[in-house]
């Protein structure tokens, strides 16, 4: 089992930056690929960004490209999402997720999920 706890959300004005953190525990963090997802009220959960177990490979949604950066610190068992130039449409509950690097799962399917941290961006 992997336990994931997100933090860093809040109520901010458009244009500012936030950094979300996700602290992992339970199993060897460096064996897991990590992702960030978000879900706005009345909408389906959507992919934001992902990072490989070793940090060498990242991917992000078009909505995040150029504004959001995913990173990880395996020594601290933590993955981050740096969000710049926030927009009202970024308002959502942000979740981190983990999948073992050897998991036989379809792409974008994650095994473990956190409870989420709310980000609200006012105009």
pLDDT of residue 1: 86
The answer to whether residue 108 scores a pLDDT higher than 90 is no
pLDDT in tens, 20-57: 999 999 889 999 999 999 999 999 999 999 999 999 99
The answer to whether residue 16 scores a pLDDT higher than 90 is yes
pLDDT of residue 68: 98
pLDDT band at 4 (very low <50, low <70, confident <90, very high): very high
pLDDT of residue 27: 82
pLDDT in tens, 47-91: 999 999 999 999 999 999 999 999 999 999 999 999 999 999 999
Closest CA to 34 of 91, 76, 92: 76
């Amino acid at each position: 089992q992997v336990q994931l706890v997100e933090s860093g959300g809040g109520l901010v004005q458009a244009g500012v930056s936030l950094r979300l953190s996700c602290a992992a525990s339970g199993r060897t963090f460096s064996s897991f690929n990590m992702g960030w997802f978000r879900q706005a009220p009345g909408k389906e959960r959507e992919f934001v960004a992902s990072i490989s177990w070793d940090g060498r490979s990242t991917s992000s949604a078009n909505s995040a490209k150029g504004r959001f950066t995913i990173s990880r610190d395996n020594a601290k068992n933590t993955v981050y999402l740096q969000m710049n130039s926030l927009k009202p449409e970024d308002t959502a509950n942000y979740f981190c997720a983990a999948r073992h690097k050897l998991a036989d799962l379809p792409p974008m399917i994650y095994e473990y999920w956190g409870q989420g941290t709310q980000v609200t961006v006012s105009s």
